[in-house]
Every structure is written in C-alpha cells, then in structure tokens.
Chain A
C-alpha cells in the first residue's frame, strides 16, 4: 500500500536493491566487551545490537532464586540515539514486552538446570535501529551466551519476514516495517527444529503465513551458519604460546 504513495518494490527489487528473499549484509563478532563473561556485536544492515552476558552468578536479590535452575534475566534496551527521534532512555512498554519475548526465545536452549540458585543475566543494547532489532537481539544474545561458555542445546537465530506491497520479503528494514502490511519476527533453534520466538504484527492469510514461515526458515539457516562460523573463528584466532 505505502501510506506515502511510494513504491517499496519495483520490478522484483526492494527499495535498497535487495531481492525479495535476500538478507541484508550480516556481520557478527564475539568477545567485544572485556568485563562481560560473554558478549557479541551483531549487525543486520544498519541495525546494530550489542549483547552482554554475566553469569551464572549470585543474583542481586535472593528472593528471585530458583532452587532447581538458574533464572534468566533479560533486558532489551534501545539507546537514546539509536532511533531517528531521540528515544527516552527509560524502558518503554515495547521494551518491557520485548525483554520478555527475547528471554522466552532463549529459555528453551539454555541448560539452566545445571546452575541452580544462580542468575544468568543478558543485557541487550540496540545501538542503531533500522528494523529487525528484536531478532538481531536474539541472535546477539545467543552468541553472547555461547561466548560466555554457558551450556546450550543449540544456538538461536532470528529474522523478520514482512509483507510489503503485497510481496513477502525477508529481513525487513525499518522503512519496510513502517509502510508494509505485516511484520513477522521468527527465531529458531535450527538443529533442534524448535521455534522459540514467533510474533505477527499485521494481517496474513493462512497461505501467506505458511510461505512467510518458509522464507523465515531460509533466512534463519543462513544466519545460523554465520553464527557458527563466528564462534569457530574465535577459537582459530587463539594463539598457543610455548
């Protein structure tokens, strides 16, 4: 539709020149912070997200301890300069919801039962927002957990599929999200074939939903292989001293 009457898709190409099923350039690195037990920087195009993991450690407040497992604490936060208009640094309702959604996207893969009475803290800072921040956050947090050496059943990778000008497109950016008809973030633990995050903002027919999910899976596979390469590279870079 395009509220401003602009066409977001012309002759099969998107406003930034991507094909319908093409991801933005994806880049990832781990160990980007010295103090955190694990950290990662993930970029989906111009979306940049930093995740830090502290723990398993003694929780700040003892009342939230669980006797049979570690609690996972998660904060999704957007920096005040990450958006076009300055964002208030206090947590918005959206950020509160996304902190929960991101935590629940990671809960299924973390072997939290190995660390009873501790907390595993995940801090996510969106430093530049250009669409797909929650899925980039899940990817970054999953890498940071692995970087912290926390045992996991699988990595989690996320991507959003959108419906723009009637077409299903992979890895929506902010413009496509704003003027598109639907936005469906998905995160999966691909080796386990588990869907750990699924949301839809917008309207899709059941058939469109099936196609959108297929497209998401394709993107997730690609992101998952970058995640694995990124972690492997970390250990290849280790120099052994005599």
Chain B
C-alpha cells in the first residue's frame, strides 16, 4: 500500500521562503542555474568481478551500478532475445531515512522507470543475445546501488546504468556438442551490443518554478517532478510524473525542451568519459 510520506527533511519556513524568492530571480541556493546539472564523474569498471560497472557521482549523490551476465532461458514470446532485469536498492549507507530491507515503492519505481527507458528505446540489442535459439540466452542483470543520497537518484541511476552497460563485456563462451555451455571468464569478450544511448532528465517543480537536477534540499520542497527519458535521436523514450503535486499543460513544452537538450548533454558526457577513461 502506498502512503503519503512525511517530509524526510524539514526545511524551516524562512528558508523555504528565501529559496522560492531566489527562484523568482532565476537563482538557486546551491548557486546553480535553473537548467544546470551538477558535475558528473564516472569511474567505469569499478567492480572487477562484475561484467560491467560504473561508480557515478552526480554532485554528492553516489550510485554504483553493476551488470552481471548469466545464461538463462528465453521467455516463450521472445525465444531469440536476451532478458533484461533492472533492480534498485536504496542502501542504508545512503541516507538516515533509508532502512535495510526489500526495495520500497520509490526504489521499485526508480528501477522500473530505468528499465522501461532501456527496453522501449531498444538501447540494448536483445536480439543479439540469443546463444542457442529458443533455448539459451543471456540474462542481463542491472543492479543499481544508491550509496549516498543527495537528491535526484533517478538521473544518477540512469547515468550509472548507461555507463555500466557501455563498459559491459560479454563473457567468452563455448557451446559443446552436448549443448553444454562453458563460460570462460579468463579474458574479456566482445562489448555488449548497444544500439542507442538513453538518459533520464528530471525536472522538478517548486511553486511555478522549474529546476533541473534537484538536490536533496530542493527535493524536499518539490511539488512534483517529471522524469523524461531522452534517447540520442532526440525522441522521448519514457515519462514519469511523480510527487503529490501536478503539472500544467503550458509547462510540458518547456520541460520537454529542457530535457531534450540536457539529455543530449548527459549522453555526450557519459560517452566521452567512458570512452576516454580506457
């Protein structure tokens, strides 16, 4: 059951008023422009035992994404396609309000939004991940670990997922005559077939003001937010409104335009960092 949350961090009324009056002048308490994303740093292949991984910092938000590949059986309706599974864990390390335990509705929502973005944009070419048609395929497990929460977990997770997938190598395998598959993890194989890059851009709404990449202080003041999944062709590959507030129609073109341009920026940043840091 989903219950109205109590505010995680209470912000004094005086500070709230100051933040809102600053937004009226196009300023933010953290010094950023309304459409400015925090600096992104990515360390790829951070986890030697994973088939792909990335540690991402979006400002002070830290997310670790690990990709594991396993041999699995295909679903009957997609006999020649690999399977994608995305899961998110909000670690108790990340915030005083995160408790150990199974993923809550926020973690589930986050992982499902990331999953839909990758799946629907066909970012991973799942048709190249069949090993034995109809019988054996690659299962791609994407696990998102939120290590430190300073706001906008979804965009940080999307950057981490993209970077981890870009660094993922398919293990070398040998299919024996008996049908047995031997995995050779001694050396890295081919990169995971990615056909497209996607990025989530979250725009928050405080009163009538729109801000990109809200930090935790701004998040506690948000009325609502819209996450836009943008693909590299400039299409919208997913949307998710979240929060107890609303949006108005006139805001939609603004939000979409900001998201499209910021999304492109984010995808380029991730590409450059992942390719550059050989």
Contacts and interface: CB of A to CB of B under 8 A. Distances in A.
Interface of A: 3, 64, 66, 69-75, 93-94, 96-97, 99-104, 107-108, 112, 119, 182, 184, 189, 192-206, 209-210, 213, 217
* Most A CB within 10 A of own CB, among B2, B6, B111, B244: B2
B248 A199 contact: no
Contacts of B242: 100-101, 104
A110 B65 CA distance: 38
Q: What 10 A-B pairs have minimum CB-CB distances, sorted nearest first?
A: A194-B246, A200-B239, A107-B244, A99-B2, A198-B241, A71-B4, A100-B2, A108-B246, A195-B247, A75-B1
B120 A201 contact: yes
* Most A CB within 10 A of own CB, among B1, B231, B257: B1
24 contacts: A64-B6, A73-B2, A74-B2, A75-B2, A97-B105, A100-B105, A101-B242, A104-B224, A104-B244, A189-B246, A194-B247, A195-B241, A198-B240, A199-B240, A200-B238, A201-B116, A202-B120, A203-B231, A204-B235, A205-B236, A209-B252, A209-B256, A210-B252, A210-B253
Interface in B78-128: 105-106, 108-109, 111-112, 116, 120-121
B260 A195 contact: no
Chain A: interface secondary structure?
A: mixed
Nearest to A105: B241
Contact of B3 (A64, A202, A209): A64
B181 to A, nearest CB: 27
B120 A104 contact: no
Nearest to A92: B108
B29 interface: no
Contacts of B129: none
A73 B3 contact: yes
Nearest to B241: A198
B234 interface: yes
A235 B162 CA distance: 55
Contacts of B245: 107-108
Interface of B: 1-4, 6, 77, 105-106, 108-109, 111-112, 116, 120-121, 224, 226, 231, 234-249, 252-253, 256-257, 260
B249 A193 contact: yes
A206 B226 contact: no
Given A205-B235, A206-B234, 20 more contacts: A3-B77, A74-B3, A93-B111, A97-B105, A97-B108, A100-B105, A100-B242, A101-B242, A104-B241, A189-B246, A193-B248, A194-B247, A195-B246, A199-B241, A201-B120, A203-B121, A203-B231, A203-B236, A206-B235, A206-B257
Contact of B2 (A103, A197, A210): A103
Given A100-B105, A198-B247, A94 B112 contact: yes
A84 B32 CA distance: 51
* Most A CB within 10 A of own CB, among B241, B245, B246, B253: B246
